[in-house]
Structure 1
């Protein structure tokens, strides 16, 4: 750091402020320091930095212990943010069979030293005022909340609008029988995405049939069951929108087993645009919810709150733009 400071013509403290992301220097000074860092091939020693400060920020990541692409992307984003900002990351995973409730796991994280916690749905959407009062002084933020929360800040997309946009796109491709696979009932996004799907159908003058809606649990296996139900209904869809990519991939598997060609006979779209979307064949059309970037943003907000405890904390919903990513799993409706 002394070498970097000498080459940039600044103090060692200024170099430290730049490398830890503190907003105490001008853009010109920051650029000069980073130029010196690049020229000298300097790599900050995060462990040494933590020892020197004696108070590394500890950020917990709280989620249910299930396998899906969304949670993988969330953890990757949190890892990126904590590593780049020199913070420690603690993981709290809860399981329906563990005997520990989500609130027990949150308590464990805080007892382990977490000063801020990123909380995945559905638990972030379920926290009561009484429970939040227990964690006064701990920075908490929800991720991908299906709607605005009154008690907790969050980073989210407009789920209703996103589902509306994808359904409207399928309608524009000529589809009139569009199936929908919901998410888990305890996730707010399940309701808002279903509402967006229904609104798009209604605005297009199409009927909303219960036969075209199947319940899922945001897992691949639940997608298999839901898609089988849709194909066995009296009103077989020509397109299906699933509430995440895992269930959309399962829907594609069921369609292939039924002898249907995707997208010639049946178009399928997903949600999240996770890495899974480009690992299936054909590649999946999906609503891009930038989960990793959202988790990165949320963790940075937590770290800033921990570093500046004197700042006033307010409940803010940080909205992130979604977009439609069209690939090979959707096309114009088949002629019947």
Structure 2
């Protein structure tokens, strides 16, 4: 028969309550006693029930990743970064993806938290900036970590990159290649990072003495199809751009597909750059020059902050990755 907590207590010569404290990694257990209990569990092949742990410690042993899904590669990176750390902590990761267009966004997320009773949450944009959600989590005493917040930056722990600085560096790189008419595809308007990346593009133009042209800026939604639509508009201009910088790899891939459809040689006739350095950036042809946002590492750090109870605000480095999709301005 499968060993139970009573068997462990008898083998270790301690109370059931002491075994429970060891299982839940509580303090106030002497090191020698803890070692004896752990040896008994190993000898008996005892595996604590998660339900029993939750009942004993008043915990659910679940955390939530609350996210929109602007691109499957981004979400895959987040989950990949969180899964290992959650497994090491004996905690289940529950992913709640939501539609950003709904008017009931905040209420939907709040209902999800109240129903499930999570031990903690990791929030991505735009819910990371939703004040009622943050208020409710704090009221309930539920710890959270925000990824890439855009408002109230001193509120709670967070992990982010310098989106404005990274977009500025990419735009300057295109300018250094001789480009002056540089199209820009803005990300989803509900995400603070979209504005930050647009600011980086505009600031680089201004710093380099390049006149900005509103006709070269097109709205996207962080997905492939919106990148296609933006490229069709930009390439239909009488004086079309010689380079297009899309603020996500999914949108940049959409731009690339339109360039191929129009028989434009990339990068000889049109340079294309993206943002994120998801797996997609190296799967398309030619490979995308892009800004590497360390998505997986950011998720790992967010989990570390959540489990440690840290209130740190971490800014991780971004990196410009050069591939074959960018080159000098056409003669």
TM-score (norm 1): 0.78
**C-alpha displacement at 1:84, in angstroms?**
2.8
Superposed CA deviations along residues 158-180 of structure 1, whole A, max 9, x for unmatched, are: 00000000011111111111111
Asked whether the 8 Å contact 2:71–2:222 carries over to 1, the reply is no
Q: Which residue of 1 aligns with 2:278?
A: 274
Distance change (3 Å), C-alpha of 1:191 and 1:199: same
Matched, 1:223 2:227: yes
Structure-2 separation of matches of 1:225 and 1:46: 58
Matched, 1:186 2:162: no
The correspondence for 1:325, drawn from 316, 321, 324, is 321
Superposed CA deviations along residues 4-62 of structure 1, whole A, max 9, x for unmatched, are: xxxxxxxxx9xx99xx9x9xxxxxxxxxxxxxxxxxxx9xx996485785556321111
Superposed CA deviations along residues 63-102 of structure 1, whole A, max 9, x for unmatched, are: 1255432122112212222123322112222236889634
Structure-2 separation of matches of 1:285 and 1:107: 41
Superposed CA deviations along residues 83-140 of structure 1, whole A, max 9, x for unmatched, are: 2332211222223688963442343234313111111111112x22x44332220111
Matched, 1:174 2:170: no
Structure-1 separation of matches of 2:235 and 2:156: 40
**C-alpha displacement at 1:304, in angstroms?**
1.8
Q: Which residue of 2 aligns with 1:201?
A: 205
Matched, 1:95 2:91: no
Distance change (3 Å), C-alpha of 1:160 and 1:122: same
Residues 303-322 of structure 1 aligned to structure 2 (within 5 Å): 303-305=307-309, 314=311, 316-322=312-318
Structure-1 separation of matches of 2:241 and 2:143: 45
**C-alpha displacement at 1:265, in angstroms?**
0.7
Q: Which is higher, the Rg of structure 1 or of structure 2?
A: 2
Asked whether the 8 Å contact 1:93–1:105 carries over to 2, the reply is no
**C-alpha displacement at 1:195, in angstroms?**
0.8
Distance change (3 Å), C-alpha of 1:285 and 1:233: same
Distance change (3 Å), C-alpha of 1:66 and 1:206: closer
Asked whether the 8 Å contact 2:71–2:250 carries over to 1, the reply is no
TM-score (norm 2): 0.79
The correspondence for 1:242, drawn from 237, 243, 246, is 246
Please, which runs of 5 or more residues in structure 1 have no aligned partner? 1-12, 23-41, 306-312
Q: Which residue of 2 aligns with 1:132?
A: 134
Matched, 1:81 2:85: yes
Matched, 1:118 2:122: yes
Structure-2 separation of matches of 1:177 and 1:148: 35
RMSD (Å), alpha carbons: 2.8
Q: Greater shift after overlay, 47-56 or 99-108?
A: 47-56
Structure-1 separation of matches of 2:274 and 2:46: 39
The total of aligned residue pairs comes to 288
**C-alpha displacement at 1:246, in angstroms?**
0.1
Distance change (3 Å), C-alpha of 1:66 and 1:194: closer
Distance change (3 Å), C-alpha of 1:245 and 1:87: same
Q: Deviation above 6 Å: which 4+ runs of structure 1?
A: none
**C-alpha displacement at 1:151, in angstroms?**
3.0
Distance change (3 Å), C-alpha of 1:321 and 1:330: same
**C-alpha displacement at 1:232, in angstroms?**
1.0
Residues 131-170 of structure 1 aligned to structure 2 (within 5 Å): 131-135=133-137, 136=139, 137-146=141-150, 149-170=153-174
